[in-house]
A and B are shown apart, each in its own frame.
Chain A
Amino acid sequence: MESSENGPVSAHGHLPTDPELRVKALEEILVRKGLVEPAALDAIIDMYQNRVGPRNGARVVARAWSDQDFRTALLADATGAIAGMGYAGRQGEHITAVENTPDMHNIVVCTLCSCYPWPLLGIPPGWYKSDEYRARAVREPRKVLADFGVTLPEDKAVRVWDSTAEMRYIVIPERPPGSMGLDEEALAELVTRDSMIGTGLPMEPQF
């Protein structure tokens, strides 16, 4: 559907929409001034589009599930523990891991904007950046969880973590029943992005 916000469609084809043109213009200006190189932008996009994503976080969780010493180290100093696995970089400087237990479920939000542990989870999904999630996760976390299809027992507490530029969080979900005997690689397959934000649970193994 075309609207004035999406820009006009000329007889010749689709003109770039206003925000596309704005971004292109801004890039052009910064390139002309020698402040940025298009190749550097391409590299940043490639990194977050193709090389960094929730599979990194899933490997961390899988290791925490299968290696108690690593789990202890991760809970004590997540930034150091994940750097030891090769995951570091922007928005990963200060990460805290919080563990789900039979008594406690953790959920992560950024009420200010969209702070998120990029090296472990990549770029946050649209809903994480939406006003609705950012407002409701704090106010009514159980209802938000229900909207995501997660219903918790009444006696399980829910703790909400508000991310900032200084501190980001990853949830270590509970290891699913029936996953004993699986190796780290197979365990990582069970770990969804949402389970590391706290809005989902890991998948159960299919045999």
Chain B
Amino acid sequence: MTPGSEPAFDSPWHARAFALAVAENEADRLSWPDWTARLGATLRNCGLSQSLNGGDDYFLAWLDTLESMLVEEGRIERGEIEQVMAELAEAHEFALHEPRNVQHSVGSD
């Protein structure tokens, strides 16, 4: 492997979080200069208590920033994410008892 040819994203959720923000930008609902200013502020706050390594912690900051901006702009409700997380976790638990299609059955109803 030549330097620089490692995968673009270390985890699938990094890629998904990345794409959600880019999709908002592509839909002209998020300006990139605003985004970088907000992401920079989140990273600065997170970095006060620990040194961020640019992996999970970076994409957690990315996700926090996106959630905050969506809530502020009224596109999602505060608490909505926790509610859907609980639904998904329940669906996942249920799916784990099914013999097959574990991934596909999550959230398919």
Contacts and interface: CB of A to CB of B under 8 A. Distances in A.
Interface of A: 10, 12-13, 15-17, 19-30, 33, 35-36, 40-42, 44-45, 48-49, 53-54, 90-91, 112-115, 122-123, 125-133, 164-166, 192-194, 200
A137 B76 CA distance: 38
Contacts, number: 173
Given A122-B8, A123-B8, A132 B23 contact: no
A22 B36 contact: no
B76 to A, nearest CB: 6
Most buried by A among B4, B10, B27, B43: B4
**B interface, over-half SS:** helix
Interface string B86-105: 01110011001100001000
B2 A27 contact: no
Interface string B10-27: 111101111110111111
Interface in B25-55: 25-27, 29, 32-33, 35-37, 39-40, 43, 47, 51-55
Contacts of B9: 45, 48-49, 123
